[in-house]
């Protein structure tokens, strides 16, 4: 169990709802769910969830901490916002799912190797480096995340698409050598580091 996770367990004892309300984006909305199930029926990846948002909300209230944080459900969110616009109680469900996924990831509780967890890590690190996303480096990092041999196989499997995009001038091999970036990338590093520090201070990760 990660140190941050241990601290959270001690800090919130059996009150997982309180933990979510304090530490998860828009978590204070969870108690407003009336269990109608419209979110579950509206999700494009509905058939693939282990637990629907509605179930996740009830599990949070029931204190099922490990089950919620280790669920792969939040990672199935495509950010289509269907659940948000349809929720009769106007819960910002998409944001809560993002918040839960981030929190589980931060505590080291999210499922290992979960593919969407992997791409969010690669994507954010890619953009945080120069301030702008380098699509070529992102795609390559994704192909090679499970090692060199697998990476070559993945890249070969997708080579038709890659060549097609290059011909259409929508993928530039020169991006590998540097590519687009913000002039003030150091400033962006500072902003992100500071924001993270403030968030950790506010949510009591440090103590």
Partner 1 sequence: MTKKNYAFYPGCSSQKGASASNFATSIGVMCEKLGIQLNEIPDWNCCGASIGYGEGGLLPRMAINARNLALAEHHLPGQDMVSGCPACWLSTRETAEKLHESRSLMAEANEALKEVNLNFKGTVKARHIVEVLVEDVGFEDMKAQVVKPLEGMKIAGYVGCQTNRPFGIAGESFENPQYLDRMIETVGAEPVSGYDQKVTCCGGALAFSEPDKSQKQIRDIVESAYDHGAELIVTPCQLCQANVEIYQSEINKKQGTKLAMPVVYYSQLMTVAYGGTLKQAGLNGHVIQPEKLKQIASRQK
Q: Which of positions 19-58 make contact with partner 1 (CB under 8 A)?
A: 25, 44-45, 48
d(CA 69, CA 126): 25
Q: Which residues contact 176 (CB under 8 A, 6 or more apart)?
A: 136, 137, 140
| 142 makes contact with partner 1 (CB under 8 A) | yes
Question: Judging by beta carbons within 10 Å of its beta carbon (0-12, 13-18, 19+), is residue 78 exposed, middle or buried?
Answer: exposed
Among 123, 137, 144, 155, which residue sits at the site for partner 1 (rule: CB under 8 A)? 123
Q: Is 70 left (phi over 0), alpha (psi -120 to 50) or beta?
A: alpha
| 204 touches partner 1 by CB under 8 A | no
Asked whether position 171 contacts partner 1 by CB under 8 A, the answer is: yes
Binding site for partner 1 (CB under 8 A): 25, 44-45, 48, 75-76, 78-82, 84-86, 94, 98-99, 101-102, 105-106, 115-121, 123-125, 127-128, 131-133, 135, 142, 160-161, 164-165, 167-172, 174-175, 180, 182-184, 187-188, 190-192, 194-196, 198-199, 202
């Amino acid at each position: 169990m990660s140190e941050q996770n241990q601290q959270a367990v001690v800090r919130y004892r059996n009150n997982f709802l309180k933990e979510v309300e304090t530490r998860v984006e828009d978590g204070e909305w969870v108690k407003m769910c009336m269990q109608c199930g419209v979110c579950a029926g509206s999700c494009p990846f509905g058939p693939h969830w282990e637990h629907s948002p509605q179930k996740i909300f009830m599990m949070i209230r029931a204190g099922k901490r490990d089950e919620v944080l280790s669920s792969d459900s939040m990672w199935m969110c495509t950010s289509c916002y269907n659940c948000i616009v349809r929720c009769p109680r106007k819960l910002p469900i998409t944001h809560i799912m993002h918040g839960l996924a981030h929190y589980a990831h931060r505590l080291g509780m999210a499922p290992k190797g979960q593919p969407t967890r992997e791409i969010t890590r690669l994507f954010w690190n890619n953009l945080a480096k120069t301030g702008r996303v380098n699509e070529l480096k992102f795609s390559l990092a994704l192909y090679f995340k499970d090692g060199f041999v697998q990476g070559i196989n993945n890249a070969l499997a997708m080579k038709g698409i890659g060549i097609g995009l290059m011909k259409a001038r929508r993928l530039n091999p020169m991006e590998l050598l540097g590519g687009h970036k913000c002039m003030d990338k150091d400033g962006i590093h500072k902003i992100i580091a500071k924001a993270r520090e403030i968030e950790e201070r506010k949510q009591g990760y440090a103590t």
